[in-house]
Amino acid sequence: MSDRIEAIKAMLVDNPKDVFLLYSLGMEEISAGRLDLAAGALIECITVDQDYLPARIELGKVLRSGGELNQARAAFEGALDLAIRQEDTHAADSIRQQLDALVQ
């Protein structure tokens, strides 16, 4: 396991609800190729802060990469709804592209 993952996990012991740390853990797990662990960290991040758009987008990507296309679609649709509510047109456009690229 990488030193960065271990360092993030150590910081999470003191701050288990730190959205940035949870997101960072998810991203590091993606880099390490551990999609299940990445998805778990991103889901926890979203549980802590349902409005954290980057975690929702990355969760969709992880699920897509793992072949979980229905779950990926649901994650991207949730991200799109949030982006629209947050009036983030750039993110909304990007998420629409992710949805359009899903093959079922």
Q: Is residue 103 over pLDDT 80? A: no
| Range 85-104 average pLDDT | 92
Question: pLDDT value at position 57?
Answer: 98
Report the alpha-carbon distance of residue 75 to residue 11 in Å, rounded: 27
- The pTM (predicted TM-score) of the whole model is 0.93
Report the alpha-carbon distance of residue 31 to residue 68 in Å, rounded: 19
Q: Is residue 1 over pLDDT 70? A: no
What are the tokens at 54?
């980057």
Q: Quick check: 66 and 39 in contact, CB under 8 A?
A: yes
Other C-beta atoms within 10 Å of 103: how many?
6
Question: pLDDT value at position 63?
Answer: 97
Name the residue among 43, 42, 48, 39 with its Cα closest to residue 16: 48
Per 3-state DSSP, what percentage of the chain is helix, strand, and coil (rounded to 5)? 80, 0, 20
| Range 42-61 average pLDDT | 98
